[in-house]
């Protein structure tokens, strides 16, 4: 356990160097400042609680399309000028869209934080979406869909898996959107999305770096304080009905090797910090026991035996939509039997459900999890990203501070109970990708 003590010591030293302050403007905009004076750098992120989960059928992908259009000019700037100005100041910028949020960020020398705020406030209220620019950019998005999803076996596999695993929940839809929806999308659709969701009362600004929280708050007041809040569309509950049996599918796609994606419906982290979250942290540890290193169970069982080229387990602990799957993704070697791979994975889960895990496995996983958490907190960008993700998904950002302590509490019996409780065929979805020749 000495390695755990070392990592915890590093983490505690870090928390002394960093402190977090929170403010809220009268228009509903929230500002969270993570003060860290180790380098003269600042990361500024604007998070909108608007992702693919908020879309409707027929307009899938519009959240991601709007992300692209946010760089196409405002009433005071030309298309592409936002990126040019940031680059000239020595900064880096980009954006990303997820199921639960859309985020825009800049990494800059600390004196340029005002420039970031000035430009982000401009496009929060003054974005211009023209039909001409939209027609050009929608082609870029469609091409992105082709190379990320349609031309990649793992992409089309994951898309098919989600569409089957979720019957009613919007997580069944791809973030990039269905191609037919992109083909029929108009600039009015993107403008409607912007007008509905891009408002100060639906946004959180997270700043991490060598800054004074009070000065950042004053800048937020200066550039965002006068932007009027909007009446946001009503968000309806979107509950996934209970699964009553295994869902199986075979997918044919171009590729060289067969693949399997299988997943079980499992609980996620509870948004109430006062509630017990032992199950979620036990599942997090279980994912580490099963995959992640050369000594983990799935790697030893499938890769070292020559049955698979790659194999990993994944547990998405956080979600605004309150539903998720504990997943396995395996790329088989030629000649391997998918049924055998599935049985191997199930057998490892059954072994853990019967016997638990060893103390050596617990130590290894906890050390790896804690090390990863420490290294992420060493990055100003990831400090801000953790806060932004938690808050836009409905979790108080303070929950990040209890992550290590909660992982440390997990016992073999906790992992054993999780394996017994949540890995029934009743909640299993499995897709087998059968490769077709890439010469077609």
Q: Is 269 left (phi over 0), alpha (psi -120 to 50) or beta?
A: beta
From residue 62, alpha-carbon distances to 7, 184, 257 in Å are 42, 11, 33
DSSP annotation of 303 reads I
The domains of the chain are located at 18-224, 247-436
Q: Indicate if 159 belongs to the active site.
A: no
Q: Which positions ≥6 away from 121 have C-beta within 8 Å?
A: 223, 224, 227
Torsion angle of alpha carbons 6, 11, 13, 16, nearest 10°? Answer: -160
In which order are the strands placed within the sheet that holds 18-24? 18-24, 30-36, 203-209, 41-48, 102-109, 92-97
- Beta-carbon contacts of 234 under 8 Å, excluding residues fewer than 6 positions away, are none
CA-wise closest residue to 306 among 273, 323, 331, 342: 331
- Catalytic pick from 55, 67, 93, 137? 67
Evaluate whether 18-224 and 247-436 have a shared fold.
Answer: yes
**E strands present in 315-364:** 324-332
Any idea which architecture 247-436 has in CATH? 2-Layer Sandwich (3.30)
Decide if domain 18-224 falls under CATH 3.40.50.300.
no
Q: How many degrees, rounded to 5, is the angle at CA 108 between CA 193 and CA 19?
A: 90
Per-position pLDDT tens, the chain of length 440: 333 333 334 344 444 456 899 999 999 999 999 999 989 999 999 999 999 999 999 999 999 999 999 999 999 999 999 999 999 999 999 999 999 999 999 999 999 999 999 999 999 999 999 999 999 999 999 999 999 999 999 999 999 999 999 999 999 999 999 999 999 999 999 999 999 999 999 999 999 999 999 999 999 999 999 999 999 999 988 889 999 999 999 999 988 999 999 999 999 999 988 888 999 999 999 999 999 888 899 999 999 999 999 999 999 999 999 999 999 999 999 999 999 999 999 999 999 999 999 999 999 999 987 788 777 777 899 999 999 999 999 999 999 988 999 999 999 999 999 999 999 999 999 999 999 876 54
Task: State the Rg of the chain over Cα.
Answer: 23
């Amino acid at each position: 356990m000495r390695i755990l003590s070392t990592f915890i010591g590093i983490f505690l030293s870090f928390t002394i160097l960093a402190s977090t302050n929170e403010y809220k403007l009268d228009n509903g905009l929230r500002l969270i400042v993570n003060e860290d004076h180790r380098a003269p750098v600042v990361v500024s992120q604007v998070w909108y609680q608007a992702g693919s989960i908020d879309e409707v059928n027929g307009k899938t992908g519009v959240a991601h399309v709007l992300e692209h259009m946010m760089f196409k000019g405002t009433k005071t700037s030309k298309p592409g000028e936002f990126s040019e100005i940031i680059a000239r100041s020595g900064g880096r910028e980009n954006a990303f869209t997820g199921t639960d949020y859309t985020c825009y960020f800049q990494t800059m020398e600390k004196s340029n934080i005002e420039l970031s705020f000035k430009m982000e406030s401009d496009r929060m209220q003054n974005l211009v979406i023209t039909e001409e620019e939209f027609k050009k950019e929608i082609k870029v998005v469609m091409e992105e869909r082709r190379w990320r999803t349609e031309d990649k076996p793992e992409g089309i596999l994951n898309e098919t898996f989600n569409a089957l695993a979720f019957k009613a929940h919007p997580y069944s839809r791809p973030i990039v959107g269905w191609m037919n929806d992109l083909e029929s999308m108009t600039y009015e659709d993107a403008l409607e999305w912007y007008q509905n969701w891009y408002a100060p009362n639906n946004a959180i600004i997270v700043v991490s770096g060598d800054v004074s929280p009070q000065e950042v708050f004053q800048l937020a007041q200066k550039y965002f304080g006068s932007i009027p809040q909007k009446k946001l569309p009503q968000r309806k509950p979107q509950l996934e009905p209970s699964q009553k049996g295994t869902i199986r599918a075979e997918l044919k796609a171009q590729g060289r090797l067969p693949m399997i994606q299988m997943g079980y419906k499992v609980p996620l982290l509870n948004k109430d910090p006062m509630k017990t979250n032992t199950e979620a942290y036990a599942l997090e540890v279980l994912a580490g026991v099963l995959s992640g290193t050369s000594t983990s169970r799935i790697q030893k069982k499938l890769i070292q035996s020559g049955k698979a080229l790659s194999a990993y387990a994944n547990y998405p602990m956080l979600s605004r939509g309150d539903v998720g799957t504990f997943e396995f993704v395996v790329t088989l070697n030629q000649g391997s039997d998918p049924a055998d791979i599935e049985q191997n994975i199930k057998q490892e889960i059954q072994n853990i459900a019967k016997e638990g895990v060893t103390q050596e496995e617990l130590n290894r996983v906890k050390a790896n999890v804690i090390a990863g958490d420490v290294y992420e907190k060493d990055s100003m960008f990831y400090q801000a990203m953790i806060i932004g993700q938690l808050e836009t998904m409905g979790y108080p950002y303070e929950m990040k501070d209890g992550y290590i302590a909660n992982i440390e509490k997990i016992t073999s019996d906790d992992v054993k109970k999780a394996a017994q409780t949540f890995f029934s065929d009743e909640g299993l979805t499995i897709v087998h990708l059968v490769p077709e020749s890439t010469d077609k």
